[in-house]
């Protein structure tokens, strides 16, 4: 299927100093050659060698050529390239018009426009990377904060595949052993085999659980911690929002498909991304807040991973704070910010603690693990570092420092891990029930195959297509 040579603009849209047009496939060098004019011919270049020259558009009827751009051509030969095929990259001037003209001429010269993710798909089909690594490419490009970036880079280097491959090897070894023993009982013994298999199963299950437990952290790293800032009018919600946004204010993402137009803004706090959910107090002022504030706050509270309750510590507590606390789900981390500590304050941590423990509030049931009370001044920025630390403790329990353990698991990985886990439990049941060894192999292989889907070893074509379609153009 890969006998076509594909091309795409691999650098970003918009104007830039340099823009890269990439060709990959069996005719990459030949097609590049049709446009390239330089002292040296592309065909003569060794792999990983660049040459200076011009790209020209050919107009055969006039036996004439017109210069498209001045470029550097880089030739990379199969199989040691990104796609495992011959690759030619032209570094052109980075204007959208010039890049599109080069692309058009390459298509006229015999290349086909690449589909989104097609270069990476070829790397996968060529066996250079597995599926988790291909997905990691996408995550590296999409990473919006340091932690997500380092986790995806680690995944790109095979972090997750190595874990999965180790598990699969163990399962395959045991299956092969059982089958050999059933075939050749003289040489392989199954005596006491259940006692041998049980701890191996337990160990595999533990490893899978560990991977699964990093899944939530992976989602939070990738998508940001959905954070609702609530509190009564004038408590300082907008000020806290601005404090968090800091320089990041410009990054505004419109999330489509919500019941109303909601803007979500992203802030990075201590290397962790917060996706700030717009509650009424965030952007509106005056009466509007009082009319719709509570309703929106409630909505935000329902979908949040983290709640920041802002209290004006310079004013006595009111029933509004108690009302808001009634809406806080018992298993969502809550940070109470006693704001305006640059003024003389009247609300104390103890008072808030008492309020949190009050009979009948959802917060009364939870352990202190999920609650923090901090003094802060949104006006001066005092307390921002303590807030960053609290977020890290609440969500990553200090584990972020041991960053080797973060995996950016997606839904596909999680489903496969659960399936493998279930299959291993069935093997354990068979062990308990004392049924014949041939029963073990069926479920051991089911686990093996489920894990294989993660790295793309056992995967239907249409699923791979679906995954690569989500890639950006030119990658």
Smallest distance from ligand GDP to CB 318, Å: 13
Smallest gap from Cβ 372 to ligand GDP, in A, equals 18
| Two structure tokens written together for 36 | 């390239």
| Nearest distance, CB of residue 239 and ligand GDP, angstroms | 3
Closest to ligand GDP by CB, 220 vs 310, is 310
Residue 391 C-beta: closest distance to ligand GDP, Å: 19
Give whole-number Cα distances, 89 to 32, 69, 159, 294, in Å.
Answer: 9, 14, 29, 56
Which is closer to ligand GDP, CB of 236 or CB of 456?
236
Residue placing its CB nearer to ligand GDP in the complex, 211 or 235: 235
Q: Which residues contact 192 (CB under 8 A, 6 or more apart)?
A: none
CA pair distance 153, 163, nearest whole angstrom: 15
**Shortest separation between residue 375's beta carbon and ligand GDP, angstroms:** 10
- Measured from the CB of residue 359, what is the shortest distance to ligand GDP in angstroms? 28
Residues 35/109, Cβ–Cβ less than 8 Å? yes
Joined tokens for residue 228: 């609702």
Strand partners, 91: 20, 72
Closest CB 379 distance from ligand GDP, rounded Å: 3
Between 285 and 322, name the residue whose CB sits nearer to ligand GDP: 285
| Residue placing its CB nearer to ligand GDP in the complex, 138 or 376 | 376
User: Closest approach of Cβ 356 to ligand GDP, in Å?
Assistant: 20
H-type alpha helices, 36-186:
96-108, 118-125, 131-142, 146-156, 159-183
264 neighbors 225 (Cβ within 8 angstroms): no
Q: Judged by CB, which is closer to ligand GDP: 205, or 340?
A: 340
Nearer to ligand GDP, 109 or 276 (CB): 276
Residue 115 exposure: Cα atoms within 13 Å on the Cβ side = 11
Closer CB to ligand GDP, residue 73 or residue 310? 310
Instruction: For residue 183, count CB atoms less than 10 angstroms from its CB and return exposed for 0-12, middle for 13-18, buried for 19 or more.
Output: exposed
Tell me the two tokens of residue 326: 């009634």
Smallest distance from ligand GDP to CB 245, Å: 12
- Count Cβ atoms below 10 Å from residue 325 Cβ, excluding itself: 22
- The residue among 298, 303, 310 whose CA lies nearest residue 373 is 310
Contacts of residue 381, defined as CB under 8 A and 6 or more positions apart, other chains included, come to 243
- Helix (H) or strand (E) holding 214, with range, is helix 193-223
| Residues engaged in binding ligand GDP (CB under 6 A) | 231, 233-239, 281, 339-340, 342-343, 377-379
Exposed, middle or buried by CB within 10 Å (0-12, 13-18, 19+), for 212? Answer: middle
Q: Indicate the residue among 310 and 355 with the shorter CB distance to ligand GDP.
A: 310
**Greatest Cα pair distance in the chain:** 89
How many whole angstroms separate alpha carbon 194 and alpha carbon 129?
36
């Amino acid at each position: 299927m890969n006998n076509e040579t594909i091309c795409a603009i691999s650098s970003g849209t918009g104007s830039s100093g340099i823009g890269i047009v990439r060709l990959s496939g069996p005719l990459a060098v030949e097609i590049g050659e049709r446009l390239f004019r330089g002292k040296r011919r592309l065909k003569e270049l060794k792999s990983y060698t660049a040459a200076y020259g011009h790209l020209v558009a050919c107009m055969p009827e006039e036996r004439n050529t017109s210069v498209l751009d001045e470029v550097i051509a880089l030739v990379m030969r199969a199989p040691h390239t990104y796609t495992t095929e011959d690759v030619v990259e032209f570094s052109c001037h980075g204007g959208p018009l010039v890049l599109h003209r080069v692309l058009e001429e390459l298509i006229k010269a015999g290349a086909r426009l690449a589909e989104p993710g097609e270069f990476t798909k070829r790397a996968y089909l060529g066996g250079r990377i597995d599926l988790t690594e291909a997905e990691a490419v996408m995550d590296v490009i999409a990473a919006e904060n340091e932690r997500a970036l380092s986790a995806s880079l680690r995944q790109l280097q095979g972090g997750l595949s190595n874990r999965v491959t180790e598990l699969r090897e163990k399962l395959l070894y045991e299956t092969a052993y059982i089958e050999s023993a059933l075939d050749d009982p003289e040489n392989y013994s199954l005596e006491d085999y259940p006692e041998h298999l049980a701890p191996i199963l337990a160990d595999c299950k533990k490893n899978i659980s560990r991977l699964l437990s990093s899944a939530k952290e992976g989602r939070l790293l990738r998508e940001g911690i959905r954070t609702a800032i609530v509190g009564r009018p004038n408590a300082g919600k907008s000020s806290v929002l601005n404090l968090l946004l800091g320089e990041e204010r410009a990054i505004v993402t419109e999330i489509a498909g919500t019941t109303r137009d909601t803007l979500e803004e992203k802030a990075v706090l201590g290397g962790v991304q917060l996706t700030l959910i717009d509650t009424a107090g965030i952007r509106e002022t005056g009466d509007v807040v009082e009319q719709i504030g509570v309703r929106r706050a409630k909505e935000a509270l329902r979908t949040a991973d983290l709640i920041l309750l802002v209290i004006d510590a310079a004013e006595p507590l009111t029933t509004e704070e108690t009302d808001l606390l009634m809406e806080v789900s018992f298993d969502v981390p809550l940070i109470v910010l006693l704001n305006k500590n640059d003024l003389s304050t009247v609300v104390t941590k103890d008072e808030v603690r008492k309020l949190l423990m009050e009979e009948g509030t959802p917060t009364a049931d939870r352990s202190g693990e999920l609650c923090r009370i901090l003094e802060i001044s949104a006006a001066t920025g005092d307390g921002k570092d303590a807030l960053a630390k609290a977020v890290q403790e609440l969500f990553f329990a200090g584990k972020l420092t041991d960053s080797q353990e973060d995996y950016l698991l997606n839904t596909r990985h999680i489903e496969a891990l659960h399936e493998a886990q279930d299959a291993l439990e069935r093997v354990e049941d068979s062990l308990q029930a004392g049924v014949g060894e041939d029963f073990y192999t069926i479920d051991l292989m089911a686990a093996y195959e489920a894990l294989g889907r993660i790295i793309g070893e056992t995967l239907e074509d249409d699923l791979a297509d679906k995954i690569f379609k989500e890639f950006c153009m030119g990658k």
